[in-house]
Structure 1
Amino acid sequence: MVLRRALYESWQMECCGRTFSVGDEVTWQVMPMESDDMRTWGWDEEEYAGLLRVEHHSDGWPTATGRVRAIHLVHQEYAETAPGSRSFTPVPGRRTLEPVDSCPKWFGCGEPADGPGPRRRRNTDGVLVTLDVTDLPEAVPGRGHRRQPSVTSAMPAAPPREPRDRRRGRRGQ
């Protein structure tokens, strides 16, 4: 068995996910977190090398089966891009991980706080899950980016994806 981390984004859980707890066995369709997405999310590519992303909306990705060993809520602070724009962007270095026993079905978007400078809010963007993997075909490379250490060309390639807006599907925007 191998420990792997997977990001389960809030919109994926709210749309099509089933809640789970530490100790549960889960099977998810997963894809590798690509370099551009790692930078967008602010994940350190060395510390989080091999990070997977749970995917419910694309076909062709392998499934991972494993026992949940840890769950952390991913909280991110956002700043308004321009006064009154109602558009927010992640604030670098302002992400925290909160250990929990169970994954919630619904996640919160914080209310913008007024004060000097751009308005800010704190959202819960999903969960970072540590899995003790019992079954994981090698990950599929994505869109021609640097291959993760566990990549093989034996898996079928998924169709190309359009660039994502992480905020898509969020309530309250």
Structure 2
Amino acid sequence: MTLTVWVDDWQMQCCGEDFAPGDVVSWQLLRADPEDYADIVGRGRAADIDFCEEHHGQEEGRGPTALEVLTITEVHCRYEVPAGSAGRVSRPVPGSAVLVPVERADGWAAERAGVRFAGYLVTCRRGGDRP
């Protein structure tokens, strides 16, 4: 069974380790809420996200999970301050996602016109699972 894991750009930049398809990683996984990712990747794709990878917080009693990386997709999107917002906090613009399949994740991505790198969608399977 394959899983889709969201990996934030900033988590990788802070303290993540590079990974590529075929690598086995050991990640702390938190159950994902599709609503948290709908504006970044679109509602349909967000519904496919099973977990997010978390370096900085841990759920009590949950250890890391061994996963074999199958595919990696960079996610880029446009950010803007929402119309009518009292603050200056930029938010992802729905429908602006650009998905780029890559062969390695290191937390950094080539710049793309009009969008910013947000993170990775990683398909994987639990360490011991085999087709």
Q: State the TM-score, normalizing by the size of structure 1.
A: 0.60
Q: Secondary structure at the match of 2:20?
A: coil
Instruction: Show the 5 A alignment for 1:5-84.
Output: 5-44=4-43, 48-49=47-48, 51-60=50-59, 61-81=62-82
The answer for unaligned runs of 5 or more in structure 1 is 112-120, 137-173
| Contact 1:73 1:100 (C-alpha < 8 Å) held by counterparts | yes
Cα drift, residue 77 of structure 1? 1.3
| Aligned match of 2:93 | 91
Alignment-derived partner of residue 118 in structure 2: 125
CA distance in 2 between partners of 1:25 and 1:123 (Å): 28
Give runs of ≥4 in structure 1 deviating > 4 Å.
107-111
Amino acid aligned to 2:21: V
Matched pairs, number: 124
- Give deviations 1:38-60, integer Å, cap 9, x for gaps: 34535426863452100011122
Going from structure 1 to structure 2, the CA distance change for 1:4 and 1:15 (only over 3 Å counts) comes to same
**Cα distance between partner residues in 2 of 1:46 and 1:98:** 14
Higher CA-based Rg: 1
* Displacement of 1:35: 4.3
1:3 matched to 2:5: no
Deviation, 1:107, is 4.5
Task: Measure how far apart 1:78 and its partner are.
Answer: 1.7
Counterpart Cα distance in 2 of 1:135 and 1:47? 26
Please give the root-mean-square deviation of Cα atoms over the aligned residues, in Å. 2.8
Give, in whole Å, the separation in 2 of the partners of 1:50 and 1:71.
13
8 Å Cα contact 2:37-2:46 kept in structure 1: no
Residue 140 of structure 1 aligns with which residue?
Answer: none
- How far did 1:128 drift? 0.7
Instruction: Return the offset for 1:86.
Output: 6.0
Matched residues in 2 for 1:42 and 1:71: separation?
Answer: 14
| Partners of 2:128 and 2:50 in 1: CA distance | 16
Q: Which runs of 5+ in 2 are unaligned?
A: none
How far apart are the structure 1 equivalents of 2:22 and 2:82? 40
Aligned-partner Cα distance in 2 for 1:13–1:22: 16
SS of equivalent residue, structure 2 residue 11: helix
- The answer to whether the 8 A contact 2:81-2:88 is kept is yes
- 2-structure distance, mates of 1:30, 1:57: 11
TM-score of the superposition, structure 2-length normalised?
0.77
